[in-house]
Amino acid sequence: SNIAPELKSTEVQLFYVTDRKPEQDEEGNLRYGFGRSGSVAFGKTVVYLGTDITWDDLLEASRSQERLKPVKMAVKSIEEILRGPETPLPYKQVDGKVVEQPDYSAQRARDNETFRKQLLEQLELTQRNEVFIYIHGYHNTFDDAAFAMAELWHFLGRIGVPIIYSWPAGYPGIFGYTYDRESSEFTVYHLRRAIKYLSSIPEVEKIHLIAHSRGAGVVSAAIRELTIAARAAGENPREKYKIHNLILAAPDLDLDVAIQRFGGDHVFLSAHRVTIYTSPEDKAIGIATKLFASPRGRIGTFGISEAKGDIKERLEFGNANRAYVNYQGAKGGQKDQRDTYGHSYFRNAPTVSSDLVLMLRNDLDPGGPE
C-alpha cells in the first residue's frame, strides 16, 4: 500500500552500471555480452516479472505464505544513458601531484550530474533514501543479474534505488571460469569508483551491497581499496561510504585470502553490518576449492562453528557487526534449471531469501543456525 502508483506494475525498472562491451542482437537492439570494456556505462533496464499476470496477481502471490511461483521473466528494454571515457584516464604530474586533464574532469562532472538527477527522480518515488546494489557472480549474463535484482527489489517492497553492477562474466566453454575470474579482477577499479561516487551524493543516506559468488571477491577487493584510501586520508570509511549492509552470498573466496582481506585490512569495520551466507552443499564452491587447491577451503562452504584456533580468532577479529549463516540444504526451495550445483540458494531457498529481505527491508539482524 505504500508503493507509489508509478511502481505498481509487473514491469520493474532497474538502473545499471556495467563495463561489459556493448553489442547488438539480431534486431539491432542493445545488449551486453561477456566482452570487457574500458569505459563504464550507466543506464536503465526494464524487466518483466511475468508476461501473463496482472499487478494484483503478482501482489497476491507475493503476500502468500508460499513463495512466488516461478514466472518467466524477460528483459523488455535496455537504455544506455551515458558512457564514460576509456580508463585509465590521461594524467600528468604537477608539483608532485597526479592531475587529470581538465577536459576529462569536466566530462566526468557532467556525467555525474546526469547520473545524480536520474537517481533523485527514483528517490522521489520512495520514502527510503537508500541504494541497493547487486553484484552478480561467475557465469552470469547481464540478464541473469537483472532477473535476480528485479525479484529481490520486488520482495523488498520496491524501496530505494535498485542498481545492478554487471561485470564481464559469462564466457562460454571450458575456459569460462578462468576468463570470468580474470574479469572479476579487471572490474574492481570500476566498481570502486562507482561506490565512491554514489556515496558522495548527499541525498543517498545508505548503500547496501549484495554480492553473489565471485561477485563477493569483486566487492571485497573494492571495499578493501576504498578502506585503505579513507584511512590514509584520516577518514572513517563506514561514514564516508555509507555502507550499511555488506552481504556476501555463497562467496567464492579462498578462506586464507578472505581472512587477510577482511581481518588484515579491517574491511569488516567499513560496513554497519556484514553478513556471509555459506552452505556445505554448495557444489560450485566445492569445485572451486579443488580447482584452486585452497588449503583450508573456501569461505562459501565454511561454517563459523567449524572454526578452531587461529582461524576462529581471525574470523571473529574486530567488533561484532557481522554474522555467518551456514545454510543446510542448498538444494531446497524452488528449482532453478541453471542451478544444478546448489549455488543460488540465496534466491531459491525461502529460508535464506526471506532472511535477506527482512534484513534489508526492516534492518533486522540475520537469523540462522550460527
117-142 per-position pLDDT tens digit: 999 999 999 889 999 999 999 989 99
Burial class (CB in 10 A: 0-12, 13-18, 19+), 5: exposed
Specify the pLDDT at position 198: 97
Between 3 and 245, the higher pLDDT residue: 245
The pLDDT tens digits for 49-86 are 876 666 566 665 555 545 455 667 899 999 999 999 88
Q: What is the mean pLDDT of residues 343-365?
A: 84
State the average pLDDT over residues 333-342. 47
In degrees and rounded to multiples of 5, residue 272 shows phi and psi of -65, -40
Please give the pLDDT value at position 194.
Answer: 96
Over 90: is that where the pLDDT of 347 sits? no
Single pTM value for the model: 0.87
Distance from C-alpha of 181 to C-alpha of 317, rounded to nearest angstrom = 28
| 145, 241, 285, 324 from 307: Cα distances, Å | 32, 31, 18, 11
Tens of pLDDT, residue by residue over 4-58, are 777 777 889 999 999 999 999 889 999 999 999 999 999 999 999 876 666 566 6
Mean of the per-residue pLDDT values for the chain? 82
pLDDT value of position 173: 83
Q: What is the pLDDT of residue 10?
A: 81
pLDDT of residue 319: 46
Q: Which residue has the higher pLDDT, 71 or 214?
A: 214
Predicted pLDDT at 31: 96
* Alpha-carbon gap, residue 315 to 293, rounded angstroms: 21
CA distance 176 to 171: 5
Q: Comparing C-alpha atoms, which of 209, 215, 269, 195 is closest to residue 237? A: 269
- How high is the pLDDT of residue 192? 97
Cis peptide before 237 (omega within 30 of 0): no
17: left (phi over 0), alpha (psi -120 to 50) or beta: beta
* pLDDT number for residue 69: 57
Residue 287: the pLDDT is: 61
